Amino acid sequence: MSVSAAAVRTLPSGLAERLALAADLFAEHGLEATRVDEVARITGIPRATLYYYFPGKEHILAHLLSSTLDDMAERIETAAAVPGTGRERLERVLREHLAFIASHGATYRLLFAELGRAASLVDIARGVDRAIRAPLRAVLQAGVDDGSLHVLDVHAAASVVHGAVLVSGLEQLLAPSDRTTDRTDAILQVVFEGLGKERVDRRAAEDDHGH
Amino acid sequence: MSVSAAAVRTLPSGLAERLALAADLFAEHGLEATRVDEVARITGIPRATLYYYFPGKEHILAHLLSSTLDDMAERIETAAAVPGTGRERLERVLREHLAFIASHGATYRLLFAELGRAASLVDIARGVDRAIRAPLRAVLQAGVDDGSLHVLDVHAAASVVHGAVLVSGLEQLLAPSDRTTDRTDAILQVVFEGLGKERVDRRAAEDDHGH
DNA sequence: TCTATAGTTGGACGCATCGTCCAGATTCAT
DNA sequence: ATGAATCTGGACGATGCGTCCAACTATAGA
């Protein structure tokens, strides 16, 4: 039951807009619990028309998630492209990522809720890698190359940073803390400085750039 | 539609065991896409009996997730209770957490997939806080108190660490890398040392313990 | 203007699955 | 052995998905 986000017919731009209104619906109830009739009602697009453009409910969701991912990919790439050291670029990317989570909260949450699914929504899984993981690895590698970041394992670091920002960002959404304080700085502080009092030398031998 | 994990009738231990066989089913397909008939078939528990003990499918899942969480809470608490500095205890907790994710992968993934749901599975959301977040905050605070950890904001740090370990752990599951290498050390290295080349002094003013 | 084609829609249908119900079977304690 | 509690098969109504198709609308070309 692998689902591609590509619509069978090209979707008129008018419909694409109205379809976005259904994002909250999916986000709140999840894929299966969202009724196609509700999607039709909210968007004003007749049920028969939905099935004219999409093979099924899953594909409607896939389309929504996919375009959200495109948005994000663009913003992240833009942030990553601003010149600077790897470290500076990483910080921009992370701030952009946090901001994106904050603004697209519901959809973003759904992205990861439905993501784990074994075989379905395969495009989405790839999209996440393209939109977040790949740019992250790129700036991390840049930081290694220009010596502005302390990274021993780019892949592991990308996972850690991704998870840190993702979970922190989602938590800010779920727990609307009374304080309006933005925790972005606090989050980045941990990511950049780590929790240890000082650096361990466990892997010092692998540190071969002479700086 | 808020769902409590408490069964209406006390579940015979025999059934609880066989029910665990359904965990993979739920994990692979998600709540809604899992057929009750399948659960009945896999576990060998007749459908009518399932509905005799549980008000509905959601409650079956809630029970599974809830007992998985109980397992984890116990293991994490045990790891946290071993004497040592805050830092040492944190490291043990994180290793235990990663090990748990590795062994209970499917169920654990589902835990977070279904978690976001607005109103449902409320017990589960609380359970995650009890099983992971609270112990994390406790050892982080211990590290602050005994000076073994560099933590400015315990709450933010807990989110970051939780996310880092969660996403890294899940990724090890999803991407079965050809190398059998355990990435645990690499993950912890990033968490403890951070990505920065050296520590920023942005918040140095708040750093009031005389070390 | 007329007409052919493509795009769009309402509404009925078949089908799967949920959760309910209950009569009968089974187990267990006395 | 007998009654109570527990368990189970099977039928049922309700819901919601996806299909189908006839009819309606818009548009472009003659």
Q: What is the mean pLDDT of chain A?
A: 85
**A160:B167 CB<8 A:** yes
DSSP, residue by residue, B89-153: HHHHHHHHHHHHHHHSHHHHHHHHHHHT-SSS-HHHHHHHIIIIIHHHHHHHHHHHHHT-B--S-
For the stretch A133-137, contacts whose Cβ atoms lie closer than 8 Å and that sit 24 or more positions apart, written own/partner, are A133/A158, A133/A162, A135/A73, A135/A76, A135/A77, A135/A80, A135/A93, A136/A90, A136/A93, A136/A161, A136/A162
Calculate the angstrom distance between C1' of C8 and CA of B116. 36
Which residue of B lies nearest to A118 if distances are taken between CA atoms? B28
Question: Residue A4 pLDDT more than 80?
Answer: no
**What end-to-end distance do the CA atoms of chain B give, in Å?**
51
DSSP-derived letter for residue B10 is P
Q: Domain limits of chain A?
A: 61-195
Q: List all nucleotides in chain C with at least one atom under 7 A from a protein Cβ.
A: 7-11, 17-22
| Angle made by CA atoms B86, B124, A178, in degrees to the nearest 5 | 70
A-B contacts (CB, under 8 Å):
191
Q: Can you tell me the distance from the alpha carbon of B150 to that of A197, in angstroms, rounded to the nearest whole number?
A: 5
Out of B149, B166, B195, whose CB is closest to A192?
B195
Q: Does residue A56 belong to the interface with chain B, where contact is any CB pair within 8 Å?
A: no
The fraction of chain A above a pLDDT of 90, given in percent, is 56
Region A113-138: mean pLDDT is 77
- Helix/strand/coil for A201: coil
CA distance B74 to chain A (A): 23
**A195:B143 CB<8 A:** yes
* pLDDT, tens only, A153-211: 999 999 999 999 999 998 887 766 655 567 899 999 999 998 887 665 544 444 444 44
Q: How far is CA B131 from CA A176, B61, B84, B151, in A?
A: 21, 18, 20, 21
Higher pLDDT, B158 or B210: B158
pLDDT at B80: 97
**B197:A87 CB<8 A:** yes
Calculate the angstrom distance between C1' of C12 and CA of A36. 17
Which letter, b or e, does each residue of A24-50 get, where b requires 16 or more Cβ atoms within 10 Å of its Cβ? ebbbbbbbeebeeeebbebbebeeeeb
pLDDT at A208: 46
Q: Best-predicted range by mean pLDDT among B12-21, B46-55, B168-177?
A: B46-55
Q: Does residue A31 belong to the interface with chain B, where contact is any CB pair within 8 Å?
A: yes
Which of A68-72, A113-117, A160-164 has the least mean pLDDT?
A113-117
Q: Which among A210, A175, A56 is positioned nearest to A105, based on CA atoms?
A: A175
Q: Does residue B197 belong to the interface with chain A, where contact is any CB pair within 8 Å?
A: yes
Q: Please give the CATH architecture assigned to the domain spanning B60-206.
A: Orthogonal Bundle (1.10)
Pick the CATH number of A61-195 from 1.10.357.10, 3.30.70.100, 1.10.260.40, 3.90.1300.10: 1.10.357.10
Out of A155, A163, A186, whose CB is closest to B152?
A186
Q: Can you tell me the distance from the alpha carbon of B124 to that of B105, in angstroms, rounded to the nearest whole number?
A: 17
Q: Which of residues 69-98 of A touch B (CB under 8 A)?
A: 87, 90
